[in-house]
Amino acid sequence: MADTSHGPATFWTQADALLRKNLTYQKRNKRTNIRLISFPFLLCLLLVIIQNLVNSQLDKPENKCGCACIDKNGDGQCEEVCGLQYSDLDQAATCPIEHPPEWIPLLQIPEPDQRAVISSFIPYADLPNESCKKTGSCPVTLLFTGNNQTLGGILAGNVMTSSFIPNSSVDNFTNTILGSDSKTSKQNFLDPAFASGLPLYAVQRQCTQNSTFSVTVDVLGSEIEEEVRCVQGLNLWRNTSAEINDQLYKGYRKGNLERKINEIVAAYDFLNSNPNNFNVSIWYNSTYKNQTGGSDIGLVRVPRSVNLASNAYLQFLKGPGTQMQFDFIKEMPKAGTKTRLDLSSLLGTLFFTWVVIQLFPVVLSALVYEKEQKLRIMMKMHGLGDGPYWMISYAYYFTVSAIYMLCFVIFGSVIGLKFFTLNDYSIQFVFYFIYINLQISLAFLAAAFFSNVRTATVLGYICVFGTGLLGGFLFQFFLQDKSFPRVWIIVFELFPGFSLYRGLYEFSQYSFSGDFMATDGMRWGDLGDSENGMIEVLIIMSVEWVLVLLVAFHIDQGRSPLFYLKRYGKKRSSFRMRSLQRQDSKVFVQMDKPDVLQESEKVEQLLLESNTNYSIICDNLKKVYPGRDGNPPKFAVKGLSLALPRGECFGMLGPNGAGKTSFISMMIGLTKPTAGTAFVQGLDIQSEMNGIYTSMGVCPQHDLLWETLTGREHLLFYGRLKNLKGSSLTQAVEESLKSVNLFHGGVADKQARKYSGGMKRRLSVAISLIGDPKPSTGLDPASRNNLWNVVKRSKQDRAIILTTHSMEEAEVLCDRLGIFVDGNLQCIGNAKELKGRYGGSYVFTMTTSSSHEEDVQNLVKGLTENANKIYHLSGTQKFELPKHEVRIADVFHAVEVAKSRFTVFAWGLADTTLEDVFIKVARGAQAFNVLS
Ligand SMILES: *[C@@H]1O[C@H](CO)[C@@H](O)[C@H](O)[C@H]1NC(C)=O
Ligand SMILES: *[C@@H]1O[C@H](CO)[C@@H](O)[C@H](O)[C@H]1NC(C)=O
Ligand SMILES: *[C@@H]1O[C@H](CO)[C@@H](O)[C@H](O)[C@H]1NC(C)=O
Ligand SMILES: *[C@@H]1O[C@H](CO)[C@@H](O)[C@H](O)[C@H]1NC(C)=O
Ligand SMILES: *[C@@H]1O[C@H](CO)[C@@H](O)[C@H](O)[C@H]1NC(C)=O
Ligand SMILES: *[C@@H]1O[C@H](CO)[C@@H](O)[C@H](O)[C@H]1NC(C)=O
């Protein structure tokens, strides 16, 4: 016997029961767990493989400082030596440079078609004619000004030699102004001019006819043949520095916005210079860099232009024999570097978005599964409150998510993904913590809108991949586009998938650049960076987490947020108040059914005196489904009044579609009544369903079981919900299992999905009866005899409503029966009463060959004029004979007579069965409905 002293389960007992059930359930779902966990592992491994491919590419000789095999000692054995001298331009960037090479300083020369010529904008007559552009022979221009034009002229004259043909010795270049129109690069270990294949220019006052010659220069220890072209340098005087400025300004664009080129080599303003004071300002283009190269840093060829002015002044002071030689220029020494490219960080954003977000459909489908299978409501009916359900479910999914994320981060760190190792773990923790909370809340919210696991799962995964792809191929471009309004980025981030993407994107950016520059990734201090969106993402996600959780909770409770406002002004309805309000509803009680009328009067009476002997009282219960797609509204239950005393089993009979299921659904809280109400143990189903659940056992028509839990685990769970503990729990579970014949042969420890239909049915009954709930509402088992025993045994202290199609079952089990057709109770009473009332007749059956059918009819007519043929099929006929007009002896006599006249295959005389009553009542009610 179950221990009856236990009260309702406490919050923590319920929470404990649910937690144990969830853990068992999770343990069973091995395949899902493995799939879930292996996804991030596979992605991480994939990243590591990709990264290794990239690294091996970077480790190839062409991406590293060049090396060569040199026979140093002359012993025929070569040693590998690496360095600048063995590298090409690409390789050189990574070489250690202990002794930087020396370079001939060069001037920056405008390209031939971009040199200053005369034009409508710049009308200086001393500029060359535009026609020189066609031949590519335009001179290059140097501009001069100063306070003393005489002095300026002298200095300008000293700047360049008239004509000079260098010979192949490098030293001689110190006297020649060499320049190049190639672009510069980030570093000056190798001036790109010498390796570019472009010609060098020698700037001279005059060029001879054959002004191209070649020289050999020493580039990284090897002799390189360079072509040197002579280019004429024009020294032009301008009256003021404002004029120079004006010419530079106009020449810069020349009215053509596409043209962004500096036209002159350099311009000098000698200011107030005199023999005692050298004061000069120099214009040059300081941003002459390789724009297509993409780097923002470019070294400029400026030193030579400064040297030219100084040299000219020195010669003015000391005479042409004196020279300030500018022999070479060289970069600072540097250590070797390694090219790093952490591709895994860049790819990581998309991959990790998928990894993190894939928990969403998992949680969502688990929640929808419980809803679809009606398990949630089942648990509620067994006393599981909303509080423990929410707390445990939330904590449970949070733990699952947290373990998942932990595995993910640990695994990623162990295999060395920079994404994890470089960024501060505490930031990662905060970010993931907030996000998974938000995600679980969202899953709870979304679960309210799905009723089908498959739809939810499919949409969930579409959401996963869609978010990742949209993030990677749309959102990221907006992030990188600095001109995209930041406000819109924030609007995007209101969608949680994008805020996740943004956060991961920031991590990847920091780990990428951290790896590239060999520094740290994101630190707390970096959250203040103007480019760093992490802080805004954290704020958005935290706020959404709280909001979504609140909304989800309210929707789960079936309330709009206005609920609490409404509740404030509304008093709880009581028995008495309700019965006073409903006087008008009496009008609808049909007068032609005295038993039904009597029942509803009893209900009236009971409501006024609130009698505790009655477990269930239905008070004019109505259910109307609104019309859809142009169909009229469906009246499923049209006003049901019913009073069931303790210990009664009430059988509700009715054809399909009569409204039985609607009635039961209302009683167990699956749907709300449209009007009227019912009281279970004095509690109103409209408002106190939660209280009712603690005292009700429901065995629903369909088995509401977890596929992967065993019978015993089901009973343990529901037993705990009923506050059974320790030995009384084990005992109750065993009793239950035995009572429904599931105890022997290890059946109890098989998973429910392996059960046959009958076993599931029996388990459902056991669940509904465990923990000895008081009244048992809604029992509809498609059951066999052994179930009947269970029901009979357990009805002593409760009321049972049984809806069934089996008349036999109803007659055996039920104390009273009601026949329910088209939403109305047609009659009510015990089986005998009903038979007496509706079956005041015998049923006479006779089977003959079809040729004698008429003889049989005559025989019956002879017995009574009021016989009624109710059935006829190829020789077999059934008649109803009114009891008060027929004597049984007469029937036997008539049959004997008939037997002598023709062959009678079979015959029978029976008292009315319940089935006959049922058919009669149902037909009658339906005919009435057709007429009305
Ligand atoms: C300009 O410079 C020349 C050469 O040094 C000098 O002879 C002359 O006096 C200067 N003129 C003025 C106005 O200072
Ligand atoms: C090379 O330069 C030296 C020194 O200036 C000079 O003596 C010699 O004649 C030059 N050779 C040629 C071929 O110009
Ligand atoms: C510069 O000044 C000289 C004399 O002061 C004048 O003749 C000449 O036209 C001026 N040049 C320009 C371009 O204004
Ligand atoms: C300097 O040179 C660069 C590269 O050709 C060009 O883009 C830029 O506009 C020039 N700046 C000026 C002020 O001419
Ligand atoms: C150099 O020229 C500038 C601009 O005219 C002037 O402000 C500055 O005082 C001069 N410096 C000397 C040392 O003359
Ligand atoms: C400048 O950029 C072009 C195009 O990217 C590249 O081919 C060239 O090597 C670069 N030059 C230097 C000196 O970096």
Q: Which long-range contacts (CB under 8 A, 24 or more apart) does 167-173 make?
A: 168/215, 168/216, 170/104, 170/217, 170/218, 173/104, 173/215, 173/217
Residue 928 confidence (pLDDT): 56
Backbone dihedral angles phi then psi of residue 927, each to the nearest 5 degrees: -60, -40
Global pTM reads 0.58
Dist CA 237 CA 125 (whole Å): 12
The closest ligand to the CA of 236 turns out to be 3
Q: Which atom of ligand 5 is nearest to the CA of 279?
A: 1
CB of 929 shorter than 6 A to ligand 5: no
For residue 299 the two structure tokens come to: 């070294």
3-state percent breakdown (helix, strand, coil) of the chain, nearest 5: 50, 15, 35
pLDDT greater than 50 at residue 150: yes
Residue 837, classified by CB atoms within 10 Å of its CB into exposed (0-12), middle (13-18) or buried (19+), is middle
The domain spans of the chain are 11-45+341-556, 107-318, 609-829, 840-911
CB of 260 shorter than 6 A to ligand 4: yes
Residue 561 confidence (pLDDT): 46
Cα-to-centroid distance, 144 and ligand 5 (Å): 17
Cα-to-centroid distance, 320 and ligand 1 (Å): 19
The closest residue, in CA terms, to atom 3 on ligand 4 is 288
Residue 220 banded pLDDT, cuts 50, 70, 90: low
Give Cα 892 distance to the centre of its chain.
79
Cα-to-centroid distance, 239 and ligand 3 (Å): 6
Residues near ligand 1 (Cβ within 6 A)? 148, 150-151, 275
The closest residue, in CA terms, to atom 4 on ligand 2 is 172
pLDDT greater than 50 at residue 918: yes
Residue 881 confidence (pLDDT): 82
| Mean pLDDT along residues 144-157 | 92
870-889: pLDDT as tens digits: 788 888 888 888 877 788 88
Q: Which atom of ligand 4 is nearest to the CA of 260?
A: 9
Residue 77, classified by CB atoms within 10 Å of its CB into exposed (0-12), middle (13-18) or buried (19+), is exposed
Cα-to-centroid distance, 146 and ligand 5 (Å): 11
| Mean pLDDT along residues 386-390 | 84
Cα-to-centroid distance, 188 and ligand 6 (Å): 14
The closest ligand to the CA of 215 turns out to be 2
460-470: pLDDT as tens digits: 999 999 999 99
Cα-to-centroid distance, 223 and ligand 6 (Å): 23
CB contact burial 553-574 (16+ within 10 A = b; e otherwise): bbbbeeeeeeeeeeeeeeeeee
Q: Name the DSSP class of 474.
A: I
Cβ pair 274, 82 in contact under 8 A: no
Cβ pair 286, 247 in contact under 8 A: no
Cα-to-centroid distance, 93 and ligand 6 (Å): 14
| Mean pLDDT along residues 825-840 | 78
Q: Mean pLDDT over all residues of the chain?
A: 80
CB of 292 shorter than 6 A to ligand 6: yes
Q: Ligand 4 pocket test: pick from 261, 263, 292, 302 the residue with the most ligand atoms within 8 Å of its Cβ.
A: 261
Cβ pair 177, 217 in contact under 8 A: no
Whole-number Cα distances in Å, 196 to 184, 218, 267: 10, 15, 27
The neighbour count for residue 715, using CB atoms within 10 Å, is 27
Residues near ligand 2 (Cβ within 6 A)? 167, 172
pLDDT greater than 90 at residue 102: no
CB of 279 shorter than 6 A to ligand 5: yes
Cα-to-centroid distance, 165 and ligand 2 (Å): 9
Strand 649-653 relative to strand 614-625: parallel, antiparallel, unpaired? unpaired
Cα-to-centroid distance, 247 and ligand 1 (Å): 27
528-568: pLDDT as tens digits: 888 888 999 999 999 999 999 999 988 887 655 455 445 44
Cβ pair 905, 877 in contact under 8 A: no
CB of 272 shorter than 6 A to ligand 5: yes
Residue 796 confidence (pLDDT): 67
Residue 203, classified by CB atoms within 10 Å of its CB into exposed (0-12), middle (13-18) or buried (19+), is buried
CB of 293 shorter than 6 A to ligand 6: yes
Dist CA 701 CA 704 (whole Å): 9
Query: Which sign, positive or negative, has the C-alpha torsion 844, 846, 851, 855?
Result: negative
The closest ligand to the CA of 166 turns out to be 2
Residue recorded with tokens 């009008």: 587
Q: Angle at CA 640, nearest 5°, toward 639 and 645? A: 155
Cα-to-centroid distance, 279 and ligand 5 (Å): 6
Residue 210 confidence (pLDDT): 60
The closest residue, in CA terms, to atom 3 on ligand 2 is 167
The closest ligand to the CA of 145 turns out to be 3
Cα-to-centroid distance, 239 and ligand 5 (Å): 18
Residue 506 confidence (pLDDT): 92
Cα-to-centroid distance, 173 and ligand 2 (Å): 12
CB of 288 shorter than 6 A to ligand 4: yes
Q: Angle at CA 294, nearest 5°, toward 291 and 297? A: 80
Where helices occur in 415-533 by DSSP H, the ranges are 418-421, 425-447, 453-470, 476-480, 486-493, 496-516
The closest ligand to the CA of 317 turns out to be 1
Residue 705 banded pLDDT, cuts 50, 70, 90: confident
Q: Which atom of ligand 4 is nearest to the CA of 286?
A: 1
Query: Which sign, positive or negative, has the C-alpha torsion 895, 897, 900, 903?
Result: negative
778-821: pLDDT as tens digits: 444 444 555 667 667 667 677 778 777 677 777 777 888 888 88
The closest ligand to the CA of 238 turns out to be 3
Q: Angle at CA 257, nearest 5°, toward 254 and 262? A: 50
Q: Ligand 4 pocket test: pick from 108, 248, 262, 299 the residue with the most ligand atoms within 8 Å of its Cβ.
A: 262
The neighbour count for residue 418, using CB atoms within 10 Å, is 25
pLDDT higher at 708 or 169 = 708
The closest residue, in CA terms, to atom 5 on ligand 2 is 172
For residue 759 the two structure tokens come to: 């076993």
Most confident of 407-416, 592-601, 805-814: 407-416
Q: Which atom of ligand 4 is nearest to the CA of 289?
A: 4
pLDDT greater than 60 at residue 756: yes
Cα-to-centroid distance, 456 and ligand 4 (Å): 59
Q: Name the DSSP class of 475.
A: I
272-326: pLDDT as tens digits: 999 999 999 998 876 555 554 444 456 678 888 999 999 999 999 998 888 888 8
pLDDT higher at 648 or 440 = 440
| Mean pLDDT along residues 756-764 | 81
CB of 280 shorter than 6 A to ligand 5: no
CB of 262 shorter than 6 A to ligand 4: yes
The closest ligand to the CA of 290 turns out to be 6
Cα-to-centroid distance, 269 and ligand 5 (Å): 11
Query: On the CB side of 299, how many CA atoms lie within 13 Å of its CA?
Result: 16
Cα-to-centroid distance, 275 and ligand 5 (Å): 14
Where helices occur in 280-384 by DSSP H, the ranges are 303-318, 343-357, 359-372, 375-381
438-490: pLDDT as tens digits: 999 999 999 988 888 999 999 999 999 999 999 988 998 888 888 888 899 99
Q: Which of 106-115, 216-225, 260-269, 543-552 is predicted with the least confidence, judged by mean pLDDT? A: 216-225
Q: Which of 190-199, 316-325, 737-746, 804-813 is predicted with the least confidence, judged by mean pLDDT? A: 804-813
| Mean pLDDT along residues 13-29 | 83
The neighbour count for residue 126, using CB atoms within 10 Å, is 11
Query: Smallest Cα–Cα separation from 233: which of 322, 140, 313?
Result: 140
Cα-to-centroid distance, 255 and ligand 6 (Å): 28
Query: Which sign, positive or negative, has the C-alpha torsion 728, 733, 738, 739?
Result: positive
656-678: pLDDT as tens digits: 777 887 888 788 777 778 888 88
Q: Which atom of ligand 1 is nearest to the CA of 148?
A: 1
For residue 312 the two structure tokens come to: 């000219």
pLDDT higher at 809 or 366 = 366
Q: What are the residues facing 200 on neighbouring strands?
A: 228
The closest ligand to the CA of 174 turns out to be 2
Q: Which of 38-47, 138-147, 569-578 is predicted with the least confidence, judged by mean pLDDT? A: 569-578
CATH architecture, domain 840-911: 2-Layer Sandwich (3.30)
CB of 198 shorter than 6 A to ligand 6: no
858-874: pLDDT as tens digits: 888 888 888 888 788 88
The closest residue, in CA terms, to atom 13 on ligand 1 is 148
Q: Which atom of ligand 4 is nearest to the CA of 285?
A: 1
CB of 182 shorter than 6 A to ligand 4: no
Cα-to-centroid distance, 374 and ligand 4 (Å): 73
Cα-to-centroid distance, 140 and ligand 3 (Å): 22
Residue 659, classified by CB atoms within 10 Å of its CB into exposed (0-12), middle (13-18) or buried (19+), is buried
The closest ligand to the CA of 155 turns out to be 1
Cα-to-centroid distance, 292 and ligand 6 (Å): 7
Query: Smallest Cα–Cα separation from 647: which of 801, 769, 799, 789?
Result: 799
CB of 286 shorter than 6 A to ligand 4: no
Domain spanning 609-829, CATH class: alpha beta
pLDDT higher at 712 or 568 = 712
Q: Ligand 2 pocket test: pick from 167, 169, 176 the residue with the most ligand atoms within 8 Å of its Cβ.
A: 167
Residue 917 banded pLDDT, cuts 50, 70, 90: confident
- Amino acid identity of residue 269, one-letter, is D
CB of 277 shorter than 6 A to ligand 5: yes
